[in-house]
Amino acid sequence: MGRYYDLPRDPTAIAPNVDYLLERDRFMCSPRGYEVSVRFVIARPQLMGMDLTQQVTNRFLAPQIPEAIWGKYFKRTKMHGIAEPDFLGRINGTMVCLTCAIHCHTLRAWQTGIYLETCVFKPDAVAGEPDPEPGVL
């Protein structure tokens, strides 16, 4: 994970960097400042005097996402992505979200500055609340 996010080797320096990346899901944003969203002004002369700012999200723009998918499926000539010509079409939003979930889980394993191998990928170890049982609110 350190090679993807340029984390330092010193464990005391890793923890604050990992916390920063996990805060507001910055790890999946563009590394240009890791801004989760930006506001910009839409310029149209006929609408002068009105507040024309728009909030745009930068989530899922991290170059680490396609880099991880490429490394897993396309890096070598006999890998799954190259062996199946139509595999590229299977890369969809679900795969991107799962890749981000794996990055989040791995960063959480580094949160103390020392990798915790016992960190298990289970619903209670990842962000979010589980769905309530049907009929229970």
Q: What is the pLDDT of residues 76-127, one digit of tens each?
A: 888 878 888 888 888 898 999 999 988 988 888 888 888 887 656 666 655 5
pLDDT confidence of residue 41 = 58
pLDDT confidence of residue 19 = 92
> Residue 131: pLDDT above 50?
no
State how far the Cα of 119 lies from the Cα of 101, in Å rounded to an integer. 14
Q: How much is the pTM?
A: 0.68
Q: What is the pLDDT of residues 13-59, one digit of tens each?
A: 899 999 989 988 888 888 876 777 766 555 555 555 555 566 667 78
Residue 27's alpha-carbon distances to 20, 49, 56, 68, 120, in angstroms, are 8, 37, 17, 13, 20
